[in-house]
Structure 1
Amino acid sequence: MILVTGGTGLVGSHLLLDLAQTGKKLKAIYRTEKSLEGVKKVFSYTNSQEEVLRLFNLIEWIRADITDIPSLAKAFEGVRYVYHCAAMVNFDSSKDAQLRKVNIEGTANIVNYCIKNKIEKLVHVSSIATFDKKPGEKEISELSFWNKELDHNMYAITKYGAEMEVWRASQEGIPVVIVNPGVILGPGFWNDGSGKIFKKVNSGLNYHFPKTTGFVGVWDVVKAMVKLMNSSVKNEEFILVSENLSFREVFNLTARNLNKPAPSKKLKKWMIFAGWVWQEISALFTHRQRQLDSRLQKSLYEHSFYSSNKLKRELSFEFQPIAGVIETTAEAFKKDQQQ
């Protein structure tokens, strides 16, 4: 029996589709009935409605929360393998305590149950945010370690803390693999994460910024996770990046596939600073979520390059080009807009 946490998120829902299609016995955690509709939508991109329901019903859905220890007991009954995809992504400084609770404490709870139940393998989804470039290094690899002296945002801090919990599982005899994806692109969740790129470009995005980072398609993340789970690899971590691109390049590819004009104006540093100041002031009088903190605004002009050579060597893995990922995702977005 396989357990998937975060089964109603981008990675989790695409992972469940892959596993269900291969006939695996599955359990998945969900928190609200509404979130299950997102899973069905992901299933529907490549299946008839009848097949969507068949695959969906193959999964034993457990209502639980990774921060609620008692609710996890039933989820772990009979489980031998765990994919831990559940996490919180947020850059609002007012959510820092919640980020710690979900990403660190929640992962600690999953690890404790893995140890207690002596599961056979744990695959954990982390982030490239836990790697820092060493002086003189051109590309960031798995040899590029966390530098505690740097000013990290709370998301990165909590993902690193979650990794420490997973390594604790390995010390207790649980075989683990950590995957560190770049920015994950894929269809299904247009109001969250990278899905907002398609929504904003479609509505008319005017500005671009030069930040370069690693991007990867959700299908490659899923493929890598399944291959690593089924392999003899243990107690290792792998960067998952198909290509290093600037956000301007990603915006342009997205605009081209949505038949929209590409953002033509460069976002100036003073604009970002002014927007951050206004956001901080307005937050004192409203309940609107902050989208940009002082650390994140600086990162919009950074260029980071990542290497996935370790995964390519270990599994002879080939990544899908990001142009193809964006094309497929844009087609799904247009389909959803017509409904």
Structure 2
Amino acid sequence: MILVTGGTGLVGSHLLYQLVSENKQVKAIYRRAHTLERIKHVFSYYTKNHKELFNKIEWIEADLNNIPALELAFKDVAYVYHCAAFVSFEPNKYYQLRNINIEGTANIVNLCISNKVKKLCYVSSIAAIGNEANSDHLITESTEWNPEADNSVYAITKYGAEMEVWRGTQEGIPAVIVNPGIILGPGYWKGGSSGNLFRLIHKGLTYRTSGTTGYVSVWDVCDIMNKLMHSDIINERYILISENLSFNEFQKKVAKALNVKPPKKEAGRLMLEIAWRLDWLVSKLFGKRRKLSKQLAKSIRTKTVYDNSKIKDALQIEFNSIDSAIDQVSKYYLNDNTKL
């Protein structure tokens, strides 16, 4: 039996579709019943019998910090995909991020140990990998994490979650960690998912930024996770990115696929420095949610390039192009947008 946490998220929903399509016995954790409709919608992209596939999943209502509910979920489970996470770059969400990403992962690891799970696959992030002083140097899995750097609250908690997984490996649980870049996939057009980028670009973004980061499709992420789980590989972590692209280049590609105009103005360093300070002030004065933190403002203008050779060599694979992923996601977005 396979358990998937975060089953109602972008990665979790696509992973579930792949697993049930392969006739695997699957349990999945959800927190709110209304989010289950998202899964049916995602499944409907790929098959007409989406309801039948959805009904093959044993759904369990549980929170990552609800130990009794998690203990029920772990009954007869041999393999665990831990996809659940809270994604936020708002500094005032730090303790909530810790509670879900670190403490929640610790609970999953502890239950893997007590239930003698055969293998754990944890979905981390490139945010949990260190940075190179020279922006032209490729960042690898062995690039050192600097706890003294001005890391985002999200990055800090994802790194802390990885430490819990490594603790689990020391206590006898075979595990693999994947560190995806920005994951492109359909069905989640709002919130912290990359689908929101497609929505914003379609609506018309005014500014572009000069930073660079890594991108990967959700289909590649799920396929690699599945392959790793069925391999003899244990206690390793892998960067999952198809290509390194500037934010400007990515926005142009998405705008073209959506048949809209890309942003023309560049948000330079000074503008971003002023913007995050104003965002902080508005948050303090009016209690509004942060949209641009200091760390995020720096990230979107920083060049970071990642090396994907370790996973390519380990599994003898090639990634699908980001152009094809953008085209696919754009088609799903435009189709959904006509129904809204």
Once the 2 structures are TM-superposed, how far is the Cα of residue 135 of structure 1 from its aligned partner?
4.5
The match for 2:109 is: 111
Q: Is the 8 A contact 2:251 2:262 kept in 1?
A: yes
Superposed CA deviations along residues 220-263 of structure 1, whole A, max 9, x for unmatched, are 00010000000000000100010000111111111001110111
Alignment partners' CA distance in 2, 1:183 and 1:167: 23
The match for 1:223 is: 223
Alignment partners' CA distance in 1, 2:287 and 2:18: 39
Question: Counterparts of 1:155-174 in structure 2 under 5 Å?
Answer: 155-174=154-173
Once the 2 structures are TM-superposed, how far is the Cα of residue 287 of structure 1 from its aligned partner?
3.7
Kindly provide the amino acid, as one letter, of the partner of residue 153 in structure 2: M
Give secondary structure in 2 for the equivalent of 1:83.
strand
Q: Is the 8 A contact 1:64 1:72 kept in 2?
A: yes
Kindly provide the amino acid, as one letter, of the partner of residue 96 in structure 1: Y
Q: Is the 8 A contact 1:42 1:187 kept in 2?
A: yes
Alignment partners' CA distance in 1, 2:234 and 2:94: 31
Q: Is the 8 A contact 1:133 1:139 kept in 2?
A: no
Question: Counterparts of 1:180-191 in structure 2 under 5 Å?
Answer: 180-191=179-190
The match for 2:87 is: 89
Q: Is the 8 A contact 1:177 1:236 kept in 2?
A: yes
Identity %: 50
Alignment partners' CA distance in 1, 2:15 and 2:240: 15
Give secondary structure in 2 for the equivalent of 1:177.
strand
Question: Counterparts of 1:189-228 in structure 2 under 5 Å?
Answer: 189-192=188-191, 193-228=193-228
2:62 to 61, 64, 70: 64
The match for 1:120 is: 118
Q: Aligned residue pairs: how many?
A: 337
Alignment partners' CA distance in 2, 1:180 and 1:262: 29
- Measured at CA, do residues 287 and 38 of structure 1 come closer, stay the same or move farther in structure 2, by a change above 3 Å? farther
- Gaps of at least 5 residues in structure 2 are none
Alignment partners' CA distance in 2, 1:287 and 1:335: 36
Q: Is the 8 A contact 1:213 1:305 kept in 2?
A: yes
Question: Counterparts of 1:27-42 in structure 2 under 5 Å?
Answer: 27-42=27-42
The match for 2:71 is: 73
Alignment partners' CA distance in 2, 1:135 and 1:208: 24
The match for 1:332 is: 332
Alignment partners' CA distance in 2, 1:273 and 1:196: 23
Alignment partners' CA distance in 2, 1:126 and 1:183: 12
Alignment partners' CA distance in 2, 1:272 and 1:40: 39
Q: Is the 8 A contact 2:178 2:238 kept in 1?
A: yes
Q: Is the 8 A contact 1:121 1:174 kept in 2?
A: yes
Kindly provide the amino acid, as one letter, of the partner of residue 183 in structure 1: I
Alignment partners' CA distance in 2, 1:54 and 1:325: 27
Alignment partners' CA distance in 1, 2:184 and 2:195: 7
Give secondary structure in 2 for the equivalent of 1:253.
helix
Q: Is the 8 A contact 2:276 2:292 kept in 1?
A: yes
- Measured at CA, do residues 287 and 34 of structure 1 come closer, stay the same or move farther in structure 2, by a change above 3 Å? farther
Once the 2 structures are TM-superposed, how far is the Cα of residue 134 of structure 1 from its aligned partner?
4.1
Alignment partners' CA distance in 2, 1:287 and 1:68: 30
The match for 2:146 is: 147
Alignment partners' CA distance in 1, 2:100 and 2:315: 31
2:53 to 46, 52, 55: 55
Give secondary structure in 2 for the equivalent of 1:284.
helix
The match for 1:310 is: 310
Superposed CA deviations along residues 281-310 of structure 1, whole A, max 9, x for unmatched, are 221243421021112212221101101101
Once the 2 structures are TM-superposed, how far is the Cα of residue 95 of structure 1 from its aligned partner?
0.7
Give secondary structure in 1 for the equivalent of 2:286.
coil
Alignment partners' CA distance in 1, 2:131 and 2:88: 23
Give secondary structure in 2 for the equivalent of 1:45.
helix
Kindly provide the amino acid, as one letter, of the partner of residue 26 in structure 2: L
The match for 2:177 is: 178
Q: Is the 8 A contact 2:242 2:319 kept in 1?
A: yes
Kindly provide the amino acid, as one letter, of the partner of residue 12 in structure 2: G
Kindly provide the amino acid, as one letter, of the partner of residue 64 in structure 1: A
Alignment partners' CA distance in 1, 2:108 and 2:122: 10
When normalised by structure 1's length, the TM-score is 0.97
Kindly provide the amino acid, as one letter, of the partner of residue 152 in structure 1: N
Alignment partners' CA distance in 2, 1:276 and 1:139: 28
